[in-house]
Chains A and B, each alone.
Chain A
């Protein structure tokens, strides 16, 4: 028994008691200030060291967040490009739909006529000739001589036809002559195209009072076009007293440079006046 409680064992017992005592004081909060004082410089050094270390590591490596951000940015860029192309497509569709709605509205407003809608696919390569090409032909019943209109007014007439395409001579062409009437003045006249694409009314009697803004429309005389299709309105009157007739330049109802779709009047056949000539 004496052997067991020797000096070395006493040292262990005292050490255990001291440790337990320190633990007791620490757990009960009496040593918090002392611990803080001891640990705070260590923590400060440690945090400073870690900051420097992290900074050095970040210089040589890309964090996972950054990789994810780059990938996300790439995805978003792709999405933006895709959405932009879709917006352009939708704007084109909307534009086409607007034109088709306008043409449909016009076709419904005049149920006596039968119309074949067609898309403009090209222009005559010669700058001297005012012709356009459309994407419908004899397969849909289009024949030479049929009038072509839009919701705004007269465009021209079919000049040549293939199975799936047709060529239209515009009213602005230099060989185009149309019998017309100035509505407000109740005067008959001839609408003539020109090589530059301007149109004029000719052969108007000097007695008639022409004024800018008066509407010009087809008269139906000659049998080439149905009556009452709007051609345009009077722009400038050219009246010279010594001449037999007066003339005037016309602002066309349709803008022929931005023509995208047209309606072919399919139930109208031009009168064949050749035997009478």
Chain B
């Protein structure tokens, strides 16, 4: 229960930071997706039990704030969560490497998903410009922020479960 409450708090703070602060920090046209990084870091941790609840909460926060059509963020975050579950259980068990790998994969997945949704809406999309000015810079920014986010949330989750075990 403490995990869920703490997770909600962290996601709420991340949401405010994403809209206010990180939305303004741009590398060319790219920005970082703090909620996505929080969800990845939370889901990767072996001790976390309720990461799926936080994935849904993060998806709903982003769907509420963003103009992304068809609640795109919610579905894409759920896909990322399933990918993490699959990779963590069967392929890869080194958390930091997994964090970096999933960050790259998720950034590309969200970019491709968004472009597909915009294509369905008949938006004016220049794919080469999108790749050069948004997708690659966003990927770089996500990678830069992924390690501090992982370190922070890993400590938070470990602290929560150490406290519960000691009680």
A interface residues with partner B (beta carbon < 8 Å)? 121-129, 131, 133, 159-160, 167, 169, 173-175, 192-197, 257
Number of B interface residues in the complex (CB < 8 A)? 33
The count of A-to-B residue pairs whose CB atoms sit within 8 angstroms is: 85
Docked pose: A185 CA to B123 CA in angstroms? 28
Counting CB contacts under 8 A, is B23 at the interface? yes
Among B59-67, B95-103, B148-156, which stretch is in contact with chain A?
Answer: B59-67
- Cα–Cα distance between A256 and B30 once the two chains are bound (Å): 15
A-contacting 9-mer, from B40-48, B77-85, B124-132, B158-166: B124-132
State A167–B64 Cα separation when bound (angstroms): 10
Taking CB atoms, residues of chain B closer than 8 Å to A131 are 66-67
Q: Is B24 an interface residue (CB 8 A)?
A: yes
Residues of B within 8 A of A126 (CB): 66-68, 73, 114
CA distance A167 to B135 in the complex (A): 24
Q: CB distance B67 to A169 under 8 Å? A: yes
Q: Check A125/B124 contact, CB under 8 A, given A169-B67, A195-B129, A196-B29.
A: no
- Once the chains are docked, how many angstroms separate the CA of A195 from the CA of B28? 12
Is B138 interfacial (CB-CB < 8 Å)?
yes
Is B18's CB within 8 Å of the partner chain A? yes
- Flag if A195 contacts B125 (CB, 8 Å): yes
Q: Are B30 and A127 in contact (CB under 8 A)?
A: yes
Nearest chain-A residue to B129 (Cβ)? A196
By beta carbon, the residue of chain A nearest B67 is A131
**Closest B residue, CB atoms, query A162:** B64
Q: A195-B118, A197-B29 are in contact. Are A124 and B66 (CB under 8 A)?
A: yes
Q: Check A129 against B66 for contact (C-beta < 8 Å).
A: yes
> What chain B residues lie within 8 Å of A196 (beta carbons)?
29, 126, 129-130, 133-134
Q: Are A195 and B24 in contact (CB under 8 A)?
A: no
A194 in contact with B129 (CB, 8 Å): yes
Interface flags for B21-58 (1: CB within 8 Å of A; 0: not) read: 01110100111010100000000000000000000000
Q: For the complex, give the distance between the alpha carbons of A159 and B65 in Å.
A: 12
Task: Please give the distance in Å from A174's CB to the nearest CB on chain B.
Answer: 4
Pair B19/A133 contact, Cβ less than 8 Å: yes
Can you show 10 pairs from A to B with CB atoms below 8 A apart? Answer: A128-B130, A131-B67, A175-B122, A194-B126, A195-B118, A195-B126, A196-B129, A196-B133, A197-B29, A257-B26
B67 contacts A123, C-beta separation under 8 Å? no
Q: Which residues of B contact A122 (CB under 8 A)?
A: 19-20, 23, 65
Question: Which of chain B's residues 68-125 have a Cβ closer than 8 Å to chain A?
Answer: 68, 73, 111, 114-115, 118, 121-125
What residue in chain A is nearest B125 (Cβ atoms)? A195
How many angstroms from the CA of A158 to the CA of B20 in the assembled complex?
A: 19
Q: What residues of chain B lie closer than 8 Å to A160, measured between beta carbons? A: 67
